[in-house]
Amino acid sequence: MALITGASGGIGEEFARQLSRSGWETVLVGRNAARLEAVRRSLEGPGAAGSVALAADLSLPSAAEGLAAECGRRGLEVELLVNNAGCGLFGPGAGLPARDVEAMLRLNVIALTSLCAAFSARMIERGGGRILNVGSLAGDYALPYFASYAASKSYVLSYSLALRAELRRSGVGVTCVLPGYVRTGFDAAAGISSPAYLAFSEAAGMSARAVARAGLRALAADRPYSAAGIRNKAAAALGRLVPRSAVPAVAGAFLGRMAGAGKGEARSPEGNAR
């Protein structure tokens, strides 16, 4: 079975659809039980693989451990773990509520780590399995006004590469896919209202379907990590050629104007991690 977090919308829903069409039975995980069940029902049909919906808010303490335990109680053997759930915060780091930052870090970092640990242990016992972690191109940079979010996605890539090295002889593969801008509800939920920024984000963004497809291709090719899309691959390569201090200096000026024009902070919708 394939377990997909953040499966009630956006990229996670697309992962579920594409995996289901490929014959995978799926375990769909998300906060919104009604939306999650709607996705599960949409996967039904003649010849369709089975699916299970498990509502869980992975930003809560110990929620990831509870999810792994619930899968064990139900006898759900997870052969593919897709860590897609994530959220973002936009605004000055000194002004973001600590409780929101902590919830984001629990979801983006702690829950992902806990799920990788729990399910990879079972995969090792069975002699094989795969993990696909959704990071972000933002994790390649230090981004002012997205500081804690970008740092959390940097962790996802670093952790994924280290875990892959640890598991290389176990039969368990680990891949990290790095989306850039994605046409989902991320910007609106993060409190960004600048027309210029939103227009840029829309123009530069990939569809959730394309991101999920790129992630599954990287997984099938057993790549350690892969930026999603040609434009993002080029941006990632270019970013490695400039001093590490250059990107935050340039991005800070641009995003600082956005922070002033569209103040606010919010969690991103489920499945819209990037």
Could you tell me the CATH number of the domain that includes residue 132? 3.40.50.720
The domain total for the chain is: 1
Is residue 266 one of the residues assigned to a domain? no
Is residue 271 one of the residues assigned to a domain? no
Position with higher pLDDT, 115 vs 232: 115
Give residues with Cβ within 8 angstroms of 238, minimum separation 6.
none
**Closest Cα to residue 171, out of 124, 218, 131, 120?**
124
Does the pLDDT of residue 260 top 70, yes or no?
Answer: no
Is residue 270 one of the residues assigned to a domain? no
Is residue 272 one of the residues assigned to a domain? no
Does the pLDDT of residue 5 top 70, yes or no?
Answer: yes
Is residue 225 one of the residues assigned to a domain? yes
pLDDT given at position 192: 62
Q: Which of 145, 149, 155, 181 is catalytic?
A: 149
Count the neighbouring beta carbons within 10 Å of the beta carbon of residue 6: 31
Is residue 269 one of the residues assigned to a domain? no
Is residue 232 one of the residues assigned to a domain? yes
CA distance 142 to 84: 21
What pTM, to 2 d.p., does this model score? Answer: 0.88
Does the pLDDT of residue 252 top 50, yes or no?
Answer: yes
pLDDT given at position 233: 79
Q: Which bin fits 130, alpha (ψ -120 to 50), beta or left (φ > 0)?
A: beta
Is residue 127 one of the residues assigned to a domain? yes
155 in active site: no
Q: Which domain holds residue 88?
A: 2-261
Does the pLDDT of residue 266 top 60, yes or no?
Answer: no
Which region among 29-33, 70-74, 181-185, 191-195 has the lowest average model confidence (pLDDT)?
Answer: 191-195
CA-based end-to-end distance of the chain: 24
Q: Is the dihedral of CA 72, 274, 144, 98 positive or negative?
A: negative
